[in-house]
Chains A and B, each alone.
Chain A
Amino acid sequence: MDIGFVPILTIFVLAVFVGFEVITKVPPILHTPLMSGSNAISGITLVGAIASVGAGSGVAAAVLGFVSLVFASTNVVGGFLGTHRMLKKFRKRD
């Protein structure tokens, strides 16, 4: 599917603004989980890797696609799970 360049740029710029708005509200106490959690989201490249693996053919494509799948899915799974482990530890005691 082809979207034009300008609409896609619009989406990009708007997303940066949303990012700034949302992230500014995260308190310093949660900065480590924020990094780890946002890092997991940057593993979204996994979606790109899946699409690329489906499109190409040949050994080169298979190898590159495979490695990118491993990298991205490690990033996604490890990132969300590590963040979860960390966040579970933030408790309030009375």
Chain B
Amino acid sequence: MSFDWVNLAYLIAIVLFILGLRGLAHPRSAVRGNVMGALGMLVAVVVTLADQEVLPIGLLAGGIGIGAVLGVGLALSIKMTAMPQLVGLFNGFGGGASVLVAGLAILEIAGVIGTAPGEPDLQLSIAAVASGLIGTVTFFGSLVAFGKLQGIVTEKPVRYFGEQVVKIVIGAAAVSAAVMVVLDPAAYEMFWALVGISAVLGILLVVPIGGADMPIVIALLNSYSGLAAAATGFVLSNTILIVAGSLVGASGIILTRIMCVAMNRSLSNVLFGGVGGEAAGDGEDDVYAGKIRSTSAEEVAMILKSAHRVVFVPGYGMAVARAQTPVRMLTEAMESDGLEVEFGIHPVAGRMPGHMNVLLAEEDISYDKLREMDDINPTFPNTDVTIVLGANDVVNPRARENDSPIAGMPIMDTDKSRTVVVIKRSLSPGFAGIANPLFARDNTLMLFGDGKKAMEELVSAYHEA
């Protein structure tokens, strides 16, 4: 037996992957970490190419070439605000590729392709159906998620009568198809039937989920794309697929859990229950009547001029309005006046985990000013002005009450700062559909308007004040 160079090279690639992910523990080492990951991938691909007895050059060059061009084009052209969509789409591609590779293995067993029918093998067929099911759900679920984030499919939760029953029936059909493939892998048509049913399942699972729950869905699909790759690894008895796939699977599961905790909801509640939609009707008039103080950019600028510490709390509204640039300009102006400016980022602000951080980093805002919720919450009592920009539910004090729909959700304690300025188009409720008593507090000022325009007015008013 000759020495197993291929698996040794895979081991090197695996070490590079792990070191690469470990690099992401700090912004300083993160770029290098990502490069190490890419290097690991290059090693794995080159060694695999070198190991093939038959090398269909045209097919390989064509496929990889088109994929590379597509990947470079997408990665370079996409705006940072559209990152959630892009990651969603790539998730889907990874899942789709895993399904097709598993399908090829099934066709080989059935003797449809290749020289002779392969040996039916329980590990192979179970792994192949797992990959087929998970990968297809990932592919089609990701396409729906992409559509929702891109605005092609409605971001509202789409709910209908008998929804759970439909999903259970389709899910049961997928499992039965999977069992039939395992019992008789030579019946390869059944594998593609499984893929078809899983496609419907993937669509049905994501369509009912609303925009504000997207961080959880994207994280979960991320995990699935890894698990599909790992399952394909079991099909091919390939160690690097298994290790890389399970690293990604673990990563997605951790992020999913963090997101769920940050919303105080269980995963099944996100997938099958869903907040919002039902009008809570808890009397917005009672909460707001006569208590809302509307302000102007000039007044806010004056307050800022006499402040020492200012905290921004951005939400998805900032991304929608593309208000990051004036935020940075105001930050720079205040800092040159000697003010302390920081940013409080709620874990689920935006449409994917860490979304706000990327947008602010793009504006060249120093990353040590981007503070986590638990980190910044104790500082609000010492904060003169908190500017809430396009966030609602994550700053709603009703989360502290036991009888509210968002009870127990950890929130940013903005109401503890001396003055709160809320920049918002109107008093309309957030995703949870409930009124926000923060807006009616004595120390809260409402600056109504489009996020970007309001911020720009604020910047010029600050310079004039």
A residues contacting B by CB (< 8 A) are 1-3, 5, 8, 11-12, 15-16, 18-20, 22-58, 60-62, 64-94
- Given A1-B237, A92-B367, the answer on whether A69 and B59 have CB atoms closer than 8 Å is yes
Q: Which of A2, A35, A88 contacts B353 (CB 8 A)?
A: A35
Q: Per-position contact with A for B88-107: 1 when CB-CB < 8 Å, else 0? A: 00110110111011011101
Complex Cα distance, B239 from A36, in Å, reads 22
B354 contacts A54, CB within 8 Å?
no
Q: Which residues of chain B in 41-73 are interfacial with respect to chain A, using CB atoms and an 8 Å cutoff?
A: 41, 44-45, 48-49, 51-56, 59-60, 62-64, 66-68, 70-72
3 shortest interchain CB distances as A-B pairs: A69-B63, A73-B67, A19-B250
Stretch at the interface among B30-38, B270-278, B406-414, B447-455: B30-38
Q: B255 to chain A: which residues have CB within 8 Å?
A: 23, 31, 34-35
Given contacts A22-B22, A64-B100, A68-B104, contact A40 B38 (CB under 8 A): yes
**Interface pair B354/A32, CB less than 8 Å apart:** yes
* CB-CB under 8 A for A22 and B247, given A29-B367, A43-B94, A72-B97: yes
* Distance in Å: Cβ of B163 to nearest Cβ of chain A: 28
A91 to B27, CA, bound (A): 8
Q: Which chain B residues (78-125) contact chain A, with CB distance < 8 Å?
A: 78, 80, 83-84, 86-87, 90-91, 93-94, 96-98, 100-101, 103-105, 107-108, 112-115, 123
Residues of B within 8 A of A94 (CB): 366
Bound-state CA distance A16–B78 (Å) is 32
Given A40-B90, A44-B240, 10 new contacts (CB under 8 A): A19-B247, A23-B255, A54-B54, A68-B100, A69-B97, A71-B93, A73-B64, A79-B71, A85-B76, A87-B27
14 A-B residue contacts at CB 8 Å?
A25-B22, A28-B372, A34-B251, A39-B87, A43-B90, A48-B101, A50-B52, A65-B63, A73-B67, A75-B97, A81-B75, A83-B34, A87-B27, A92-B366
Residues on B with C-beta less than 8 A from A27 are 25-26, 372
- Bound-state CA distance A34–B255 (Å) is 9
A39 and B222 within 8 A (CB): yes
A24–B226 Cα gap in the complex (Å)? 17
The answer on a CB contact under 8 Å between A33 and B222 is: no
The interface residues of chain B lying within 8 Å CB-to-CB of A56 are 104, 107-108, 113-114
A16 to chain B, nearest CB (A): 5
Q: Does B260 contact A (CB under 8 A)?
A: no
Residues of A near B354 (CB, < 8 A) are: 28-35
Q: Which residue of A lies closest to B25 (CB)?
A: A25
The CA-CA distance from A31 to B56 in the complex, in Å, is 39
Closest chain-A Cβ to B33's Cβ sits at a distance in Å of 8
Residue numbers in B under 8 Å from A34 (CB-CB): 21, 24, 251, 255, 353-354
Residue B141 CB within 8 A of the other chain = no
> Given contacts A32-B87, A39-B91, are A70 and B63 in contact (CB under 8 A)?
yes
Asked whether A78 lies within 8 Å of B226 as measured between CB atoms, the reply is no
CB-CB under 8 A from A76, the residues of chain B are: 41, 45, 67, 71
Q: Are A82 and B254 in contact (CB under 8 A)?
A: no
Say whether A78 contacts B361, CB under 8 Å: no
Contact yes or no, B239 A44, CB < 8 A:
no
Determine how close the nearest CB of chain B comes to the CB of A80; give it in whole angstroms.
4
Smallest distance from the beta carbon of A75 to chain B beta carbons, Å? 4
Note all chain A residues with C-beta closer than 8 A to B242.
8, 11-12, 15
Known interface pairs A42-B94, A48-B98, A87-B30. Does A55 touch B239 (Cβ–Cβ under 8 Å)? no
Among A22, A32, A53, A57, contact of B21 (Cβ-Cβ < 8 Å)? A22
Please name all residues of chain A whose beta carbon is closer than 8 Å to the beta carbon of B129 when the two chains form the complex.
Answer: none
Query: Is A18 in contact with B98, judged by CB distance below 8 angstroms?
Result: no
